[in-house]
């Protein structure tokens, strides 16, 4: 589901699974869409979207949640102007000591929060008619707090009603494994879960464990300095026959309101210009590379309820 409506999964093309157009760190109490000028953001961001299009990318998945600068009207305009699919999200960002959670996230039940997210799927976001294409949540790096558990339960309820995939900003393995357990208790297959920022986990045996369980391992902090390291991770998972569980992206961008000219912007092309040539040098086949940047995003983000099969 893109900001311009549904797209056939087979036409998703090469996809960047975790990027940002605009992020505002002012916090849930202060944030509002008047803090940035859409035309100014468009002028700044469009050249970077043109760059990824030239690199052969068709789809960019925008991971900025509500209360952190999600502006779906802006995303729709950028998508139409650049001729690039953009996918946005529903859900709440519970990490960073809950700075980006609205008041009602603390007081409402998981069911009530899920209802808000389900309504965005059913009726569109903020009366725009623009629908989310996945659920984005976030938890702190340690064991899950009560509010994190509530957010994941809300995500589970939302998944069963909408079929939207859950991408959770997580980092280390401990909270990733806990979230997967919560989903399993809710009879949801781990294949509905994306372990975002898995690169922050240093023990690679945890990648194997999670991938074998069927969840997505998202290595999404690629930049010009860590191309070799990412190629090593990919090689390792390929040798374990788990390439079909891996997602790669930059977590790059973004226009930051409050900074002059939106601050420093990081482009989205390292994957195409540096990582793919490096993988080719390591004898990865065209088909394997296609799996990584086309087939896996398609499988991860196709809207479908994924129930746990009884063993």
Choose between 63 and 114: whose C-beta lies nearer to Zn ion: 63
Q: How far is the CB of 23 from Zn ion (least distance, A)?
A: 8
Provide CB contacts within 8 A for 249, sequence distance 6+: 16, 17, 18, 19, 61, 218, 219, 220, 222, 271
Out of 24, 76, 201, 251, point to the residue binding Zn ion (CB under 5 A).
251
Out of 1, 21, 45, 63, point to the residue binding Zn ion (CB under 5 A).
63
Of 7-15, 246-254, 255-263, 268-276, the segment contacting Zn ion by CB under 5 A is 246-254
Choose between 36 and 254: whose C-beta lies nearer to Zn ion: 254
Residue listed under structure tokens 């996945």:
134
Q: Among residue numbers 190 through 219, which ones bind Zn ion (CB under 5 A)?
A: none
Give the integer Cα–Cα distance in Å for 232 and 76. Answer: 36
Q: Is 62 in the site for Zn ion (CB under 5 A)?
A: no
List C-alpha distances in Å: 298 to 12, 153, 243.
Answer: 6, 25, 14
Choose between 189 and 269: whose C-beta lies nearer to Zn ion: 269
Choose between 85 and 89: whose C-beta lies nearer to Zn ion: 89
Choose between 89 and 189: whose C-beta lies nearer to Zn ion: 89
Residue nearest Zn ion, CB atom distance: 251
Of 102-110, 127-135, 248-256, 268-276, the segment contacting Zn ion by CB under 5 A is 248-256
Q: How far is the CB of 222 from Zn ion (least distance, A)?
A: 12
Of 46-54, 67-75, 89-97, 244-252, the segment contacting Zn ion by CB under 5 A is 244-252
For the chain, the first-to-last Cα distance in angstroms comes to: 31
> Can you spell out the DSSP letters for 102-155?
-THHHHS-HHHHHHHHHHHHHH-STTS----SEEEEE--SSSPPHHHHHHHHHH
Total binding residues toward Zn ion, as defined by CB under 5 A: 2
Q: How far is the CB of 310 from Zn ion (least distance, A)?
A: 35
> DSSP H helical segments within the chain, as ranges?
38-54, 72-82, 104-107, 110-123, 146-162, 173-185, 205-212, 227-239, 270, 276-281, 286-290, 296-301
- If one counts every other C-beta atom within 10 angstroms of the C-beta of residue 264, the result is 8
Choose between 63 and 211: whose C-beta lies nearer to Zn ion: 63
Give contact residues for Zn ion (rule: CB under 5 A).
63, 251
């Amino acid at each position: 589901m893109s900001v311009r409506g549904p797209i056939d999964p087979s036409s998703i093309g090469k996809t960047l699974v975790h990027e940002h157009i605009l992020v505002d760190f002012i916090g849930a109490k202060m944030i509002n869409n008047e803090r940035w000028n859409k035309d100014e953001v468009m002028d700044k961001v469009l050249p970077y979207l043109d760059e990824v299009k030239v690199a052969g990318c068709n789809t960019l998945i925008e991971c900025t949640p509500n209360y952190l600068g999600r502006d779906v009207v802006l995303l729709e305009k950028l998508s139409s102007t650049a001729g690039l699919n953009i996918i946005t999200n529903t859900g709440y960002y519970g990490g960073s000591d809950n700075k980006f959670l609205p008041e009602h996230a603390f007081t409402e039940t998981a069911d009530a929060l899920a209802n808000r997210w389900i309504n965005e799927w059913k009726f569109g976001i903020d009366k725009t008619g623009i629908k989310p294409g996945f659920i984005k949540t976030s938890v702190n790096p340690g064991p899950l707090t009560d509010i994190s558990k509530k957010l994941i339960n809300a995500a589970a309820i939302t998944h069963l009603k909408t079929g939207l995939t859950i991408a959770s900003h997580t980092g280390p393995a401990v909270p990733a494994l806990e979230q997967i357990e919560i989903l399993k208790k809710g009879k949801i297959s781990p294949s509905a879960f994306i372990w975002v920022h898995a690169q922050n986990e240093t023990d690679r045996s945890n990648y194997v464990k999670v991938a074998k369980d069927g969840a997505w391992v998202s290595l999404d902090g690629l930049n010009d300095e860590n191309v070799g390291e990412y190629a090593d991770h990919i090689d390792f998972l390929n040798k374990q026959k788990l390439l079909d569980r891996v997602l790669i992206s930059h977590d790059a961008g973004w226009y930051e309101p409050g900074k002059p000219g939106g601050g420093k912007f990081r482009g989205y092309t390292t994957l195409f210009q540096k990582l793919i040539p490096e993988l080719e040098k390591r004898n990865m086949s065209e088909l394997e590379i296609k799996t990584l940047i086309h087939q896996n995003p398609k499988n991860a983000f196709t809207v479908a309820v994924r129930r746990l099969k009884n063993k």
